[in-house]
Structure 1
Amino acid sequence: MSLQQKALLLLKKQGDFEVGYRSIPSPGAGQLLVKIQSAALNPIDYKIKDTGLSVSHYPAVLGVDIAGIVVEVGKGVKNFRKGDQVLAHGVRTFSNDMAAFQQYSLTVADFTAKIPSSESFDSAATVPLGLDTAVMGLYGQEVGAGITPPWVKSVSSHVSKKPIVILGGSSSVGSYTIQLARLSGFYPIITTASPSNEDLVRDYGATHFFDRHLSGDQLKAAISEVTDRPIKIVYDAVSLPETQSAGWGLLTTNGVLVLTLPASVKEDAGKGRKAIQTFGNPHAPQNHELGSSCWAMVTKWLSEGTIQAGSAITPNKYEVLPDGLEGIIEGLERMKMGQVSGMKLVARPQETQ
Structure 2
Amino acid sequence: MSDVTTMRAISQDVLGGPEVLREVRLERPAPRPNEVLVRVRAAGVNPTDWKHRENGGFLGEPPFVLGWDVSGTVEAVGVGVADFRPGDDVFGMLAYPFGHGSHAEYVSAPARWFVPKPAGIDHVQAGALPLVSLTAWQALVERAGLREGQRVLIHAAAGGVGHVAVQIAKARGAHVIGTASAGKHEFLRSLGADETVDYRETDFAEAVKDVDVVLDTLGGETSVRSLGVLRPGGVVVSILPVGSDDFPREAERLGMRAVRMLVDADRQGMREIAALVESGRLRASVERTFPLAEASEAHRAGETGRTTGKLVLVAD
TM-score (norm 2): 0.88
Q: Deviations over 1:9-55 (max 9, x none)?
A: 12134482221111111112332111111111111111101111111
Which residue type is aligned with residue 247 of structure 1? S
Q: Deviations over 1:94-114 (max 9, x none)?
A: 35xx51111100133222122
Following superposition, the deviation at residue 61 of structure 1 comes to: 0.6
Q: Would you say the 8 A contact 1:263–1:277 is kept in 2?
A: no
- Give secondary structure in 2 for the equivalent of 1:270: helix
Aligned counterpart, 2:78 = 74
Q: Would you say the 8 A contact 2:46–2:160 is kept in 1?
A: no
Output the CA distance in 1 between the equivalents of 2:61 and 2:38.
Answer: 23
Aligned counterpart, 1:5 = 7
Residue 87 (structure 2) aligned to one of 59, 83, 90: 83
Alignment of 1:93-132 (within 5 A): 93-94=97-98, 99-132=101-134
Aligned counterpart, 2:166 = 178
Shift in CA distance, 337/175, structure 1 to aligned 2, threshold 3 Å:
closer
Q: Deviations over 1:323-352 (max 9, x none)?
A: x332111221232243x42132111223xx
Task: Find out whether 1:223 has 2:241 as its counterpart.
Answer: no
Task: Find out whether 1:303 has 2:272 as its counterpart.
Answer: no
Alignment of 1:19-38 (within 5 A): 19-38=23-42
Runs (4 or more) in structure 1 with deviation over 6 Å come to none
Q: Would you say the 8 A contact 1:113–1:298 is kept in 2?
A: no
Q: Would you say the 8 A contact 1:135–1:280 is kept in 2?
A: no
Following superposition, the deviation at residue 245 of structure 1 comes to: 4.5
Following superposition, the deviation at residue 215 of structure 1 comes to: 3.8
Aligned counterpart, 1:63 = 67
Task: Find out whether 1:292 has 2:267 as its counterpart.
Answer: yes
Aligned counterpart, 2:215 = 235
Following superposition, the deviation at residue 62 of structure 1 comes to: 0.5
Which residue type is aligned with residue 293 of structure 1? Q
Task: Find out whether 1:210 has 2:188 as its counterpart.
Answer: no
Aligned counterpart, 2:314 = 348
Q: Deviations over 1:250-271 (max 9, x none)?
A: 1233322111223444322332
Give the alignment's Cα RMSD to 1 decimal.
Answer: 2.3
Task: Find out whether 1:54 has 2:83 as its counterpart.
Answer: no
Provide the identity percentage: 24
Which residue type is aligned with residue 175 of structure 1? H
Shift in CA distance, 244/214, structure 1 to aligned 2, threshold 3 Å:
farther
Aligned counterpart, 2:139 = 137
Task: Find out whether 1:43 has 2:47 as its counterpart.
Answer: yes
Structure 2 gaps, min length 5: none
Following superposition, the deviation at residue 92 of structure 1 comes to: 6.7
- Give secondary structure in 1 for the equivalent of 2:173: coil
Q: Deviations over 1:294-340 (max 9, x none)?
A: 222333322221221x3xxxxx233111xx332111221232243x4
Q: Would you say the 8 A contact 2:96–2:264 is kept in 1?
A: no
Output the CA distance in 1 between the equivalents of 2:79 and 2:280.
Answer: 32
Q: Would you say the 8 A contact 1:61–1:92 is kept in 2?
A: no
Which residue type is aligned with residue 292 of structure 1? R
Which residue type is aligned with residue 27 of structure 2? S
- Give secondary structure in 1 for the equivalent of 2:296: helix
- The structure with the greater share of residues assigned to strand is 2
Following superposition, the deviation at residue 174 of structure 1 comes to: 1.1
Q: Would you say the 8 A contact 2:73–2:90 is kept in 1?
A: yes
Q: Would you say the 8 A contact 1:91–1:99 is kept in 2?
A: no
Task: Find out whether 1:335 has 2:302 as its counterpart.
Answer: yes
Output the CA distance in 1 between the equivalents of 2:159 and 2:124.
Answer: 17
Output the CA distance in 2 between the equivalents of 1:136 and 1:49.
Answer: 25
Q: Deviations over 1:41-94 (max 9, x none)?
A: 111111101111111464211011111111112233222221112212124743
Alignment of 1:190-209 (within 5 A): 190-209=177-196
Following superposition, the deviation at residue 221 of structure 1 comes to: 4.5
- Give secondary structure in 2 for the equivalent of 1:198: helix
Q: Would you say the 8 A contact 2:44–2:69 is kept in 1?
A: yes
Following superposition, the deviation at residue 240 of structure 1 comes to: 5.1
Which residue type is aligned with residue 22 of structure 2? E
Output the CA distance in 2 between the equivalents of 1:102 and 1:349.
Answer: 7
Task: Find out whether 1:278 has 2:261 as its counterpart.
Answer: yes
Output the CA distance in 1 between the equivalents of 2:109 and 2:281.
Answer: 24
